[in-house]
C-alpha cells in the first residue's frame, strides 16, 4: 500500500470492520469490490501476530440478485449477504472457534469471506452448518493459509492502491465542484 494510506496498529479484533480498507479491482472475471482488515494487512509474515492463526477458510456465497457485472443488484441482496456474515460469525462464536475475518471479496456472482482460524479441521463442520441456514444459496468452502492468501490474492498492489486513491480524489472533487450555469 502507498505511504499515503493510514497505517493502523494494535491487536486484530474478531469480525470487526473498524479498521477496514476498500478498493475496486478489475479481474479476468469482471470488477471486484475488495474489503480487507487493514490491521491484518500490517501483520509481518511469520510474525507473532500471525502464528496463532495457522488455518484459514475461504467461504464463497452465491449472490442471487446480481447486476450485469456480477455484483449485488439491490440493497436487499446486500442485507442478506450481511446476514450470512452474521451467521458465520455467530456459528464460530457459538461453538467457541476462535476466528478473525480478514477480507471480503465480491466478484462474478460470489461474495467470499476470508477467515483466519486458531485450529484446523473445521471446514466441513462450517459448510454443513452454514448450508442448513442458507439453503437457497450455493456455498463453496476451501482451506488456505490465511495470511499468505491475504497478501498474495487480496491486498492491493501499489498501482491498484494509487488508482483507488485517485478515484476517490476525483469523486471528492466532483462532489465539491458545483455545476456551472450555461
- Per-residue pLDDT at 16: 62
Q: What is the pTM of this model?
A: 0.81
Domains of the chain: 20-153 (3.30.70)
φ/ψ of residue 148, rounded to 5: -60, -40
Residue range 24-82, pLDDT digits in tens: 999 999 999 999 998 888 888 887 787 788 889 999 999 999 999 999 999 999 999 99
- Per-residue pLDDT at 179: 65
pLDDT band, very low/low/confident/very high, at 181 (cuts 50, 70, 90):
low
User: What average pLDDT does range 91-120 have in this prediction?
Assistant: 90
Instruction: Give dist(CA 42, CA 49) in Å, integer.
Output: 10
- Per-residue pLDDT at 177: 67
Amino acid at each position: 500500500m502507498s505511504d499515503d494510506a493510514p497505517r493502523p496498529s494494535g491487536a486484530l479484533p474478531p469480525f470487526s470492520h473498524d479498521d477496514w480498507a476498500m478498493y475496486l479491482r478489475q479481474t479476468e472475471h469482471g470488477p471486484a469490490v475488495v474489503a480487507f482488515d487493514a490491521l491484518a494487512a500490517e501483520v509481518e509474515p511469520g510474525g507473532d501476530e500471525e502464528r496463532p492463526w495457522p488455518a484459514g477458510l475461504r467461504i464463497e456465497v452465491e449472490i442471487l440478485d446480481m447486476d450485469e457485472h456480477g455484483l449485488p443488484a439491490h440493497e436487499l441482496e446486500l442485507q442478506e449477504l450481511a446476514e450470512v456474515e452474521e451467521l458465520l460469525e455467530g456459528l464460530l462464536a457459538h461453538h467457541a472457534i476462535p476466528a478473525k475475518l480478514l477480507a471480503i471479496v465480491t466478484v462474478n456472482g460470489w461474495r467470499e469471506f476470508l477467515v483466519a482460524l486458531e485450529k484446523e479441521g473445521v471446514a466441513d463442520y462450517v459448510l454443513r452448518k452454514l448450508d442448513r441456514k442458507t439453503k437457497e444459496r450455493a456455498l463453496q468452502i476451501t482451506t488456505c493459509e490465511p495470511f499468505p492468501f491475504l497478501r498474495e490474492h487480496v491486498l492491493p498492489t501499489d498501482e491498484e492502491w494509487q488508482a483507488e486513491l485517485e478515484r476517490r480524489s476525483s469523486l471528492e472533487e466532483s462532489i465539491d465542484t458545483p455545476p456551472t450555469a450555461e
